[in-house]
Amino acid sequence: MTDTEVSHLSINTIRTLSIDAIQQANSGHPGTPMGMAPVVYCLWQHFLRFDPEEPIWPNRDRFVLSAGHASMLLYSILHLTGVKAVDPDYEVVGKPCVSLDDIKTFRQFGSRCAGHPEYRWTSGVECTTGPLGQGVAMSVGMAIASKWLAARYNRPGFDLFDYDVYALCGDGCMMEGISNEAASLGGHLELSNLCWIYDSNRITIEGHTNIAFRDDIASRFLSYGWNVERVGDANDLDRLDRALSIFRKTTDRPTLIIVDSHIGYGSPHKAGTPGVHGEPLGEEEVTLTKRSYGWPEDAKFLVPEGVREHFQQGIGKRGRELRTAWESTFKEYRRQFPELADEVEKMQRRELPEGWDKNLPVFPPDPKGLGGRESSGQVLNAVAKNVPWLIGGSVDLTPSTKTRLSFEGAGDFQAHSYDYARCSIRLSALMEIPVIHIFTHDSIGVGEDGPTHQPIEHLISLRAIPNLAVIRPADATEVVEAWKFILQMRHTPAALILSRQALPTLDRTKYAPASGLFKGAYVLADAPNGKPHVLLLATGSEVSLCVAAYEQLKAEGIGARVVSMPSWEIFERQSQEYRDSVLPPSVKARVAVEQASTWGWAHYVGLEGAILGMKTFGASAPLKVLQKEFGFTKQNVVAAAKEQLGRPR
């Protein structure tokens, strides 16, 4: 087999593993893995300084899949290159980090192949990437770290740190404001060790990118001070090789490589259609696609003979040689610069240096006192003297936030931390502008997309913002009422929290009308005599779960009340009389159900009330599996209600 033939065979193996995994999961994004397989192949096989045997080698190049929805692209290459697993203590275990069984259980509970790449869950994943644009932003931070490490620890003859950072991004990343801010900073800092590879396929889930995005990306990045290269065809390995070689030779600026691709490349039927981006191909299309690759049409999860060996002779051999040479260099470095070597090793182990807390300030009693940021600034400077790798920043606000390191020897290194949604929401509340913020990922209900897309903590975080009405409707009729309410607000912005999954539309002839939403919370279903023994409280999709539990309790002769609480903020604005009518103080047996953080619910159920919620992050699996694993079942609600009724009063 010629080099060209084995290269194409390896690329098609990446593609077909991705296709098969997504098809079997009946969930995922096959387009980008198909279109960008040649790019990832070229980068990993010929350029990436990475040893699959030691995936946490300190001077390895970093690869960030900012287009996290294309996770199977990363999982396929991790499997084929034989990257070894690392345990939580960062010791090499020796088994593959992604087995073929993991790929076969893509997006299922417990699989190493979650819906989006998860850091410290799968070795070879350098950072968790879910929200578009976040990965490329983190890659700038990684490149900054490399430059800082080199400046502090490199010595003549000892180039201990010189690793590069590669980030694969797409149109979605480029549309996000955070990517522009991060790119601007990368150009300003002249991060020549940073390379973004932009998959320019001009397709989103909705259709062509020109629906909402017509930027001249090349001009934009040139204005940021980046070097810009273009590869007109993602399958042109020679052009890809040339562009990556130019990046390696560029010493004064970061590089953007724009790669023109057709999403879902390889199939003559669906290539370029928006559907391929956000859903499996379907069995018929899988067959046609494999036929176009010259692949056995009935084979699933096939890794042809010679493919793994090809990667072993490429990235495996090169990475091993680079890593062992670095270890030899570090051994001599430790002999000549023992104190610096000790710092490096402590950073790797996430340990603090001895005496890190010496000379901390002592604050005597003082009626006038200090602002928290004032005292914090003093402590920060004391600690930073003893912890050289304590680095931070707040753009040009350090005189106000008191985060500047001002002790002798402290330097300035510009860096930035961005939050590209919350700040806007907060400002709309502060300025009393009735903006409507719509969120379509409301809980673990997004299923296979995994923890990065499951906003466990976001509800309580939003509820903490003053003058923001957070509304999470229970069904379609409540959604209507929510819009009616929101559109009448003049000085209050709203966060409308909508589910992605389908919700049962409740029978409003059987249960209370959804207009109760205007009160923030209302009695949806009640005990026959209006005197409940136990209250079931919920928002959003969990309301229907409580209704199901209510019906079972009713059948067993237990009087329950279901309270839909779409908006805590609106409810708290009501009179005490109304609130007591909904949540009678005399009824102590209470159960709250919400597929998010449990914080705040004690205010409504009391310290002894039951709260069925999330105390951890979510997981990547089908929704029904997640509901069972995390306890959101009718049986659990019923059991919690009975337990509440049985506890001593």
Query: How far is residue 203's CA from residue 209's CA, in Å, rounded to a whole number?
Result: 5
Higher pLDDT, 612 or 401: 612
Asked whether residue 465 carries a pLDDT value surpassing 80, the answer given is yes
Query: How far is residue 380's CA from residue 475's CA, in Å, rounded to a whole number?
Result: 49
CA distances from 537 to 40, 475, 543, 584, 592 (A): 49, 15, 8, 13, 5
Query: How far is residue 330's CA from residue 340's CA, in Å, rounded to a whole number?
Result: 11
pLDDT confidence tier of residue 561, bands split at 50, 70 and 90: very high
Partners of 338 in beta bridges: none
Query: How far is residue 138's CA from residue 66's CA, in Å, rounded to a whole number?
Result: 9
Phi, psi (5° rounding) for residue 155?
A: -135, 160
> Which of 147, 80, 45 lies closest to 413, judged by CA?
147
> Which of 18, 53, 125, 14 lies closest to 312, judged by CA?
53
pLDDT confidence tier of residue 413, bands split at 50, 70 and 90: low
Tally of CA atoms within 13 A in the half-sphere of 424 that contains its CB: 12
Query: How far is residue 598's CA from residue 586's CA, in Å, rounded to a whole number?
Result: 23
What pLDDT was estimated at residue 265?
43
Query: How far is residue 204's CA from residue 172's CA, in Å, rounded to a whole number?
Result: 7
pTM: 0.84
The percent of residues in the chain predicted with pLDDT above 70, rounded, is 90
pLDDT confidence tier of residue 352, bands split at 50, 70 and 90: confident
Asked whether residue 274 carries a pLDDT value surpassing 70, the answer given is no
Place of tokens 């919620």: 613
Asked whether residue 294 carries a pLDDT value surpassing 60, the answer given is yes
The three-state DSSP-derived secondary structure of 263-280 is CCCCCCCCCCCCHHHHCC
What pLDDT was estimated at residue 270?
43
Q: What is the pLDDT of residues 72-94, one digit of tens each?
A: 999 999 999 999 999 877 778 88
What pLDDT was estimated at residue 262?
72
Q: Are 160 and 344 in contact (CB under 8 A)?
A: yes
Tally of CA atoms within 13 A in the half-sphere of 427 that contains its CB: 6
> Which of 457, 438, 455, 433 lies closest to 446, judged by CA?
455
Q: What structural domains and CATH numbers belong to the chain? A: 3-322 (3.40.50.970), 358-420 (no CATH), 422-646 (3.40.50.920)
pLDDT confidence tier of residue 387, bands split at 50, 70 and 90: confident
Asked whether residue 203 carries a pLDDT value surpassing 70, the answer given is no
Higher pLDDT, 331 or 403: 331
Asked whether residue 360 carries a pLDDT value surpassing 70, the answer given is yes
Asked whether residue 103 carries a pLDDT value surpassing 90, the answer given is yes
What is the residue type of 46? H
Query: How far is residue 465's CA from residue 461's CA, in Å, rounded to a whole number?
Result: 7
Which residues, other chains included, contact 79 with Cβ-Cβ below 8 Å and sequence gap of 6+? 17, 96, 98, 99, 100, 102, 103
Q: What is the pLDDT of residues 110-157, one digit of tens each?
A: 899 999 998 888 999 998 887 788 899 999 999 999 999 998 999 999
